[in-house]
Amino acid sequence: MALAVPRAHAAAMSGVAFVDLLAAVACGGLVGMALGLTGGGGSIFAVPLLIYALGVAPAAAMTISLVAVAATALVGGIQSLRYGLIVWQPSLLFALGGIVGAPAGAATARFAEPRWLVAGFAILALLVGSLLWRAARVHPEQATAVRAQSYAAGGGPVCVLAPDGQLRFTAPCALILAIIGVGTGFLSGLFGVGGGFVIVPALVLVTRMGVHRAVATSLLVISIIGSAGAAGAIWEGGIAWRVLLPFAAGGAVMMVVTRLVAARIAGPKLQRAFAVAIVVLGVSMLVESFP
């Protein structure tokens, strides 16, 4: 009888661990699905799920989100390579700027008060939700930009900043992309978001690449920028690997599945639904930050 209690206790602990594992996989899957369907903005769900569904502290949640979103976006970026959608020059410049900004954002997050960190994230969520809603209403074609189309060679990266208006990759274009990349990287490191809600509009605005290419390219940029911030976080230590690994695995699997069917289910209505969900999350987190 003396051994019955420890064994029962061990079995109970094992059951709890298994449930926690499934919860982390499911939450990561939701993030991968949202990221795969929206191309930008879906990763905003990661931090709230980690905090409220998995019970992770805000600062740790943003670190885990950064690493997991980078891994999930990398899977989507590799898929996009098969279809020739990646535009390399802008993506590398964007990523170089992000590599500078991401560690600075992660360092800032470590010194920020958790309440203010959550409040800042909530405000960012409200902004992202508003941008997604507006994009679905004003540019409904962008809501279906996740479909995996292939493009003929020769439609490479070009910028509209040349004096004659021709599509050319110029020094001013490179500078603008790098500067926006630094800002995106800082947001990624600070709040653990991918930054696709900044990357996609910037690529479309600064260059004349199609929105399909912009979304595909943003996944690669997100993975590079996120990896830079994640490297600093891992170096500092303290990452909850038991949460991170199943969370990232669930996201990667759902990214693959979602990208295969996105052409049939993505659209303005779905993007507006995501936008509403993001706004509701932002309001809830803001209210909870300042009761």
CA atoms within 13 A on the CB side of 52: 12
Task: For residue 289, report the phi and psi dihedrals to the nearest 5 degrees.
Answer: -70, -35
Residue 152 pLDDT more than 70? no
Helices (H), 49-150: 58-82, 88-111, 114-138
Residue 250 pLDDT more than 90? yes
Q: List the one residue out of 28, 104, 16 whose CA is nearest residue 257.
A: 28
CA separation for the pair 113, 193 (Å, rounded) = 18
Residue 247 pLDDT more than 80? yes
More confident residue, 14 or 160: 14
Mean pLDDT taken over the chain:
76
CA separation for the pair 83, 45 (Å, rounded) = 27
More confident residue, 10 or 23: 23
CA separation for the pair 64, 268 (Å, rounded) = 30
Q: How does pLDDT run across 13-60, given as a tens digit for each residue?
A: 465 577 888 999 999 999 888 877 766 666 788 888 998 899 888 888
196 falls in which pLDDT band (50, 70, 90)? confident
148 falls in which pLDDT band (50, 70, 90)? very low
Q: How does pLDDT run across 63-98, given as a tens digit for each residue?
A: 888 888 888 888 888 877 877 777 777 788 888 888
Three-state DSSP state, 159: strand
pLDDT at 154 (0 to 100): 40
| Size of the chain, expressed as the number of residues it contains | 291
Which token pair is 234? 């891992």
pLDDT at 231 (0 to 100): 75
pLDDT at 158 (0 to 100): 43
pLDDT at 80 (0 to 100): 78
Contact residues for 180 (Cβ-Cβ < 8 A; gap 6+): 94, 97, 198, 202, 206
Q: How does pLDDT run across 99-138, given as a tens digit for each residue?
A: 888 888 888 887 888 888 888 888 988 888 887 787 767 6
More confident residue, 34 or 245: 245
Classify residue 43 by burial, with Cβ atoms within 10 Å: 0-12, 13-18, 19+.
buried
pLDDT at 150 (0 to 100): 38
CA separation for the pair 84, 31 (Å, rounded) = 25
pLDDT at 172 (0 to 100): 76
Contact residues for 150 (Cβ-Cβ < 8 A; gap 6+): 83, 84, 85
CA separation for the pair 165, 287 (Å, rounded) = 47
Which token pair is 13? 């602990």
> How far is the CA of 38 from the CAs of 63, 125, 133, 171, in angstroms?
22, 15, 11, 31
More confident residue, 148 or 249: 249
Of 115-124, 136-145, 208-217, the least confident? 136-145
- What are the residue boundaries of the structural domains of the chain, listed by start? 4-289
